[in-house]
Every structure is written in C-alpha cells, then in structure tokens.
Structure 1
Amino acid sequence: MPKIYSEKEKENIRELLLEEAQIALAHSGIESITVDQLVEAAAIPKGTFYLFYQSKEELFLDVVSNFKKESEGKILALLEELDENHIVTSLTKVFTYLTKEVYSKGIYRILDEKQQAIIRKKVGKEKLLSVREELFSYFKELFGYFAIDDKEDLEGFYSAYMLLLYSFLHGDKIEDLEASSKLIIRGLILQLVGE
C-alpha cells in the first residue's frame, strides 16, 4: 500500500525534488541524470517520485518553470533599485544577475536540441514548447520594461540576449565566461539606452 502524505509533506517533497533536480541540472545534462540519483539525493523512496512526476523530464520542465518564479522577485527588486544616474551600470547588474542564474542553475541546457529531444520524447511537444515559451516570454517581458516602442528593436535586443544564452551550451570552451558575458550585456544595455 502506498504511503499517504499530508499536504505539507507533499509540498516539502515537491520542493526537495525541484531543488535536487536543479542542482543536478547545474552539473550535467538531462540524459545523464537518473531518477535513482534524484530520489537518493532527496532521500525519498523511488515510488514516491512517481506520485509527483511521471518522468524525470517532467520534473526538469518544472525546474525551468520554477526558475522564472524564483528569479522574478529578485529581478523586479533589482529593477526597482535602478540608479537613474548610472543606468547602464544598474541595468548591466540586473541582466548579469539573470544571466548568472541561467548559467549556474543549468537552465540554459533546455536550449540544447538534444536535451529538448529527450524531454519531448517523454512529455510531448506541446508541454515542452509551452515551458520554453514561458521562459522566453519572461526574457522578452524584462526587455519590455524599458518602453521600447519599436517592436523590431525589442525583438533585436531579445534575440541578442538569447544568442548570449545559446553560447552557454559551449561555455566550457570560453576562457572567462563571466567576464565575456558581462561585457556583451553591457554593450547590449548601451544600445538599449542609446548612450
């Protein structure tokens, strides 16, 4: 007979699974992470995992959705602290924070076609595209805060930022990824504010 969990226990287990999956994603691709590793790290029985998720791929899509929820508050707080006298430096700080989070938490891995194929096989194309669109919309929304009237400009800034995120797929080949990213972000922000 399966164990019955209280609502609080279910919430705690779900949070724990999300944390462990995010930690695993930060270190390797989805194909090399197993459910056994996840349940061992979360210290739960394997059967319990399947009470929450049908597959590890479904869990990793939740990690991506959860990333948006977790980072949104911090990003909005950083945007509220903008120093009008040092707007380029302030905006560079905001987008550098976001970029570091995307990289350190392994969220960029979802951009990889191989990882997407693995996820798609288990959860279907619609669910994968929905979560990707949720993430991409979040990035576009952030650029939208800057009242860019020209839709073409907004798409250009968004595309340039996405190009930076795609470069993370080969981040191990870039000598100083953090410094390079910050420089690219600063250039993008200079374009954005027209200085």
Structure 2
Amino acid sequence: MPKSYSDQEKEYIIRRLKDEAMNCMSVYGIRRTTVDELVRRVRIPKGTFYLFYDSKEQLLFEALMEFHEKIETQLLQRVERMSGREPEVEAITDLLMDFFRQADEAPVIRLMNSGELEILARKLPQDELAAHFSEDAGMAETVIARLFPGMEGEAEKAAEQFGDAFRTVFAAMIYGHEGGMTGNTDSLRLLLRGLVLQLFELYDSRKTNRDAELK
C-alpha cells in the first residue's frame, strides 16, 4: 500500500468501495458495474483501486459476502435468544419468515434471478467459493443445534438434508418476482412451515429414541 494512505484512509476507501459496489450491483447488475464507475463514485484514481483489489469480481464478491454475513449474524442473534427453550413450530417459522423477507427486500438479491451471480462465480477462485459454501453448511448446522436441544451430534446430517430444501424455497421466492408473485407471504410461510414440521418430526424421532435408550 502506498505510504500516502494512512490506515484510517485505507479503511475508508475499502468501506466506500464495498458500499458503492452494492449500490452499483443493485442498479446496473454485475456485468455493467465497472471499475471506472466505482472509482468515479468513490473519487479515487483507477490505479488506487488495484492497490486494494485484483479485480472487479473480487470486490463484488467481498461486498456480497459481507451483506450475507450481516443478515446471518442477525439470524444467529435471534436464534441464540431462543436457544435452551423447547422449540415451537410457529416461533421458528416466524424466525425464518423474517430472515427470508429481510433478504428478499435487499435489491441486490435480484441478481440471483438474473443469472449474473453465476457469471461472477465463474471468475472467482474455486477455493473461495468452496469456503463460502462450507460456511453456509456450518451456519445451518449451528442453527439446528441451537433450536433443537439434544440434536447437537446429529445437526450436521440434518443441515445437509434440509439445507438444500431451504435454499430451494429461497430460490422459488426470488424467481417468484419474475412471475409477478410479489408479496405472496402466505405461500412462502406455507413452504417454510412444512420444512419446519419435518424438522420437528426428525427431532421428535431422535428424542423418542434417546428416551428409549435411557430406560
């Protein structure tokens, strides 16, 4: 990094680049978001951009992952407040509904419907993508273990079984905008509640088996 930038200035530039990356993706999409537009908005020389990022794709991916981590952190905070109590179908369904709605309200999420996210993924190192998907699986495992006491040892298997199902529901929500199915929260709740009920079936089955082993 050039000595002309203090640590505070570097932090400021990175923060501004990420903020404008999200704004540009929401307005232009990934293809039409350019380094020229980003540096114009942040008011830095183009050469300075490449002191911080090797490519436009690296910046866009980091900005998206930061947003992803933000809403996941908020979810986990709510999960922690519910942990230790006997799980309830409606309470967990409400929790997931809020999480899905929050993600859906972010304009950048529409990128998932455009196919542009796949373009970004093709230009990124595969190890970065693999690490992201591994973190996703770990988060699902943590949520299940916290919400369903006693399933800690089986949360990994449950996360694998239900993770893809929840991602499918999320994709259906995103693609619903293309078909004009906006604001159809009743359908979304029905799908989420069905998955939650199946989680409860698994939880009750494991609980019954453990109780039988203790007798």
| TM-score, normalised by the number of residues in structure 2 | 0.70
The aligned amino acid for 1:165 is F
Q: Which amino acid aligns with 2:25?
A: L
Are the equivalent residues in 2 in contact too, given 1:143–1:158 (CA < 8 A)?
A: no
Give the equivalent residue in structure 2 for 1:157: 162
Offset of 1:68 from its aligned partner?
4.1
- 1:44-59 to structure 2, matched below 5 A, reads 44-59=44-59
Distance 1:142 1:151, change over 3 A: closer
Residue matched to 1:67: 67
Q: 1:169 to 1:68 in 2, by over 3 A?
A: closer
SS in 1 for 2:147: coil
The residue number in structure 2 matching 1:184 is 191
Query: Which segment drifts farther, 78-87 or 156-165?
Result: 78-87
**Structure 1, gaps ≥5 residues long:** none
Query: What corresponds to 2:21 in structure 1?
Result: 21
Q: Distance in 1 between matches of 2:74 and 2:60?
A: 22
Q: Kindly report the root-mean-square deviation, in angstroms, between the aligned alpha carbons of the 2 structures.
A: 3.3
For 1:107 and 1:136, locate their aligned partners in 2 and report how far apart those are by CA, in whole Å.
Answer: 20
Partner of 1:4: 4
- Matched residue count: 193
Structure 2 residue 103 is the aligned partner of structure 1 residue 98: no
The residue number in structure 1 matching 2:33 is 33
| 1:100 shift after superposition | 2.9
> Structure 1 residue 107: deviation in Å?
5.0
Q: Calculate the TM-score normalised by the size of structure 1.
A: 0.76
Aligned equivalents of 1:4 and 1:183: distance in 2? 56
Checking the alignment, whether the CA contact within 8 Å between 1:34 and 1:56 is kept in structure 2 is yes
- Larger Rg belongs to: 2
**Secondary structure of the corresponding residue to residue 82 of structure 2:** coil
Aligned to 1:115: 117
Aligned twin of 2:127? 126
Q: Report which stretch shifted further, 165-174 or 79-88.
A: 79-88
* Cα pair distance change 1:45/1:6, threshold 3 Å: same
How far apart are residue 50 of structure 1 and its match? 1.5
Identity %: 28
Contact 1:26 1:104 in 2 (8 A): no
Measured in 2, the distance between the counterparts of 1:17 and 1:33 equals 12
C-alpha distance in 1 between matches for 2:173 and 2:24: 17
Query: What is the one-letter code of the residue matched to 1:188?
Result: L
> Cα distance, 1:27 vs. partner?
4.5
State which of 165, 175, 181 in structure 2 corresponds to 1:175.
181
Alignment CA distance shift 1:150-1:82 (3 Å): closer
